[in-house]
Structure 1
Amino acid sequence: MVSKKLKPVIRKINPWQSLAVMPKSMWAVSFATFINRAGSMFLTFLAIYLTKYQGYSIEYAGYVLAAYGIGSLAAGPVVGKLADRFGNLPLMKLSLLLSAGVLFLFPFFDEFWMIIVLTTVLSWVSEGFRPANLALISDIVRPEDRKIAFALNRLAINLGFSIGPLLGGFLIIFDYHWIFIFDGLTSLLAVAFLFMTSLSKEEKERRSATQSITTEVVPKTSPFKDRRLIYYVLALSPVYIVFFSQLSTVSLYVVNELGLPEPFIGVLFLVNTMMVIFLEVPINSALSEWDDRKLLSVGGILTGIGFGLFAFSTTVPTLIICMVILTFGEMIFSPASANYLAELAPSSAKGMYMGFLQLVFNISLFIGPAAGAFMMEGFGSKMMWIACFILSMIGVALMWRLKKNHELVMASE
């Protein structure tokens, strides 16, 4: 067993060594997440499936995608509350099982209203996996190792997502319906793996130990009445909105404004993915002693700088530099945002608190790309990139007012 005094030294010499302290249950959760995300190709090919295979218009495809977004907004806090009541692991299993069931139904229906219903239900049950997953990690990993655990979880997600669309591209050669079947099968494979683990016992023991420490010092209150949580959610939102704006703005800027070929869009996002896969865990291991407030601020600043510099970037090297800077911001910001919330949440309500993080995530995904495209169309790309920088700095200013973790957990305002 490595002593606490030696941990920082080892992490500086070999940051990947920090993964050795992860419990077996954390590896099980990460592997199940990877399996599930490796089959996640539904959203990637949904618009093409509706327009090319089913013959619907782009407008109708937009309605279906909007239905998914609206359904996902309701999932976070609601499923988080259910996870607190029935356990995180059972909710993760149920989410995967129901997702598989809904996906298997898609090939049997081509009526527009039924596709809307299935898409809405799928968004609700599939997006419910994330808050339960984050809450489970909070329960089974020691507080000092949580940031690294959240980084490992993001590594599993990004590895899976890098494989899913590639597999989907081959499957649609044979039949578009294979997208739904394969996605459903990977959900079943992930839940089968979770059934073979002993996570429930470990989760219960860790939660009981945490509750015995915090029950008397953390008052029971509804998350909706926790001003610290509401403030934190508002502080996170500007940076996450900027993060997700890149889904529309980067491609529009690169192709429409600069006239670069479409494949370069893939190159930019490949830079982002490869950095997350190979650097996020070592970075968070090396910075594990930093306070979350400092990490959130540094991550937000780098995000703002990366997006802001796009306003002055017109060549391939400078565009890649912008993507590198904002990706460093993402890698520092995202694990810290989950860890800060894990520290803030009472042990009996971690699921619901993580549900609020999922809510921020989904709202930002809903607003960011649309707002970015609207600003680019109405005010020009340079003003849009500058607005991204300003919005990120607003988020940083709000987060800098946050109190330190132990003060947030031990005191209620």
Structure 2
Amino acid sequence: MTRTVRTVAGLPAPLRTLFLTTLIFRTGTMAYPFLAAHLLVHEGLGKGPTGTVLACFGVGALAADLAASVLLGRVTAHALMLGGLGLSAAVPAVFPFLHGVAPLVAAVLVWGFAYEIVTPAAYSATVAAADPDERKVAFSCYRLAINLGMAAGPVVGGLLFAVDARLVFWANAGCALAAAGHLALRSRGVPAALPSGRNAPKSGIVRRTPYERARFWTIFGLSLPVQLAYSLPSVFLSTYVIVGLGLAGYWAGVVFSVNAVGIVLFEVPLNVLMARTRHLPTLLLGYGLAGSGFLLMALSGSGPSLVLSTLVWTAGEIVVFPALLGYVSELSSEASADRNLSLYSTGVNIAFILAPHLALLLTRPSAPGIPWAVAGGALCVAWVLLTVARSSPYTWYKEEPSCTDAI
């Protein structure tokens, strides 16, 4: 933990500002987890309309990812983050006063767009502020801020919801506004953090090549099994533990806690140690751990075996997500870095939308672990395809000598 604190404290000033901005913003992510309960209990909507409203958040988020590269070509990353944070404060502030499906759908669409647009802008700012061999560490610090915030936010939200549902939305709005204020104040007088093509790029952003687009779509396709697999815990774990395995509900809480503690304690230090390790071995290690962990989840039948499996796939998560972001940023040219990172974000949202439907479609009472097995198997196939992709310059970006591993 001490090393993590030292690493965050040693980040360049723009990345320290981004870390705290993200931490405040994601701590405020407390209204969405209680949105369904608010709509069902306080708005009196049925399950169908409630599902429609919830789905619109994902639609808005996908629209943000698709629009981000265009917007980042016209405004700076900080300006786009400020806009997203401002809208993320405005929508929850008025949400308790909205009634009827149409106004709620419109508000949630805007809310999803505002919430998600911050992510590709933050990726762009990270690429601008970090050299290539520092990006895995920078992205792991960014993920740390997200995980810390989203661990605390729902806890506070649950307490507020028990008092008055409206307080959850207003607290959410207050945190988004505080994050915008922090970003605006700390960025005053500091040069804008990336925007596409107007500032000199950091070294390591490669010139466009005939293969760049094929390389990006190769890693995009190979990243989808990762995104789908890691969406499973949030949407399927409780059902698997309680209904599928018939275990006490607290084991689901134990699994979530093990995952969260592992990320907070080890993600940043491990990525510091692996900062100069080449992309291919890093990704192969991450995919291998992830695939093994999810296959073990499918075979688990007790609480302790679930915890052991969770340790394995958490190790995979710690390695693979910063590595994917680092690789996508490095294979991208100056003109396409924002576009590629924004498109990468669409994969995250597509997976999050599809995961619950696929999990329910695959699961069987006699074989509740099938979704985990399919996820693990897909990751193993992706591991093999990674080794195949690296054999051709058309599908794989080979790092410059300065980025080779030190192992």
Normalising by structure 1, what TM-score?
0.89
Find 1:350's aligned residue among 337, 346, 352: 337
Find 1:139's aligned residue among 128, 147, 152: 128
User: Is 1:122 aligned to residue 115 of structure 2?
Assistant: no
1:405 positional shift:
4.2
Separation of aligned partners in 2, 1:56 and 1:373: 24
- Aligned 1:232-251 pairs, distance under 5 A: 232-251=219-238
Per-residue Cα deviation, 1:230-280 (whole angstroms, up to 9, x for no partner): 222111111211111222332122101221222321221111111111110
Per-residue Cα deviation, 1:162-181 (whole angstroms, up to 9, x for no partner): 11001101111221111111
Per-residue Cα deviation, 1:335-364 (whole angstroms, up to 9, x for no partner): 011111110222233222211111011011
Q: SS in structure 2 opposite 1:381?
A: coil
**Bigger mean CA offset, 383-392 vs 352-361:** 383-392
- Per the alignment, residue 196 of structure 1 pairs with 185
- Per the alignment, residue 277 of structure 1 pairs with 264
Say if 1:315 and 1:227 are closer, same or farther in 2 by CA, change over 3 A.
same
**Bigger mean CA offset, 195-204 vs 278-287:** 195-204
User: Counterpart of 1:188 in structure 2: which amino acid?
Assistant: L
Find 2:149's aligned residue among 136, 145, 160: 160
1:19 positional shift:
4.2
Per-residue Cα deviation, 1:274-325 (whole angstroms, up to 9, x for no partner): 1111110011111112112221121111111111012221111111001111
Say if 1:56 and 1:377 are closer, same or farther in 2 by CA, change over 3 A.
farther
Find 1:110's aligned residue among 76, 99, 103: 99
User: Is 1:47 aligned to residue 29 of structure 2?
Assistant: no
Q: SS in structure 1 opposite 2:301?
A: coil
User: Counterpart of 1:156 in structure 2: which amino acid?
Assistant: A
Q: SS in structure 1 opposite 2:186?
A: coil
In structure 1, list runs of 5 or more residues that go unmatched.
1-12, 408-413
**Bigger mean CA offset, 62-71 vs 193-202:** 193-202
In structure 2, list runs of 5 or more residues that go unmatched.
391-395, 401-407
User: Counterpart of 1:96 in structure 2: which amino acid?
Assistant: L
Per-residue Cα deviation, 1:81-118 (whole angstroms, up to 9, x for no partner): 21132111100000001111111121111111111111
- The alignment covers a number of residue pairs equal to 393
User: Is 1:99 aligned to residue 92 of structure 2?
Assistant: no
User: Counterpart of 2:252 in structure 1: which amino acid?
Assistant: I
Q: SS in structure 2 opposite 1:218?
A: coil
Separation of aligned partners in 1, 2:209 and 2:322: 26
- Per the alignment, residue 76 of structure 2 pairs with 87
**Bigger mean CA offset, 16-25 vs 292-301:** 16-25
Q: Percent identity?
A: 27
Say if 1:316 and 1:72 are closer, same or farther in 2 by CA, change over 3 A.
same
Find 2:314's aligned residue among 327, 330, 333: 327
Say if 1:204 and 1:154 are closer, same or farther in 2 by CA, change over 3 A.
closer
Say if 1:238 and 1:338 are closer, same or farther in 2 by CA, change over 3 A.
same
Q: CA RMSD in A?
A: 2.6
Q: SS in structure 1 opposite 2:275?
A: coil
Say if 1:261 and 1:77 are closer, same or farther in 2 by CA, change over 3 A.
same
Find 1:386's aligned residue among 367, 373, 376: 373
User: Is 1:230 aligned to residue 220 of structure 2?
Assistant: no
8 Å contact kept, 1:77–1:353: no
1:119 positional shift:
0.6
- Per the alignment, residue 406 of structure 1 pairs with 399
User: Counterpart of 1:294 in structure 2: which amino acid?
Assistant: P
Separation of aligned partners in 1, 2:10 and 2:158: 37
1:373 positional shift:
2.0
- Per the alignment, residue 7 of structure 1 pairs with none
The structure where helix makes up a greater share of residues is 1
1:382 positional shift:
3.7
User: Is 1:366 aligned to residue 353 of structure 2?
Assistant: yes
Separation of aligned partners in 2, 1:379 and 1:391: 22
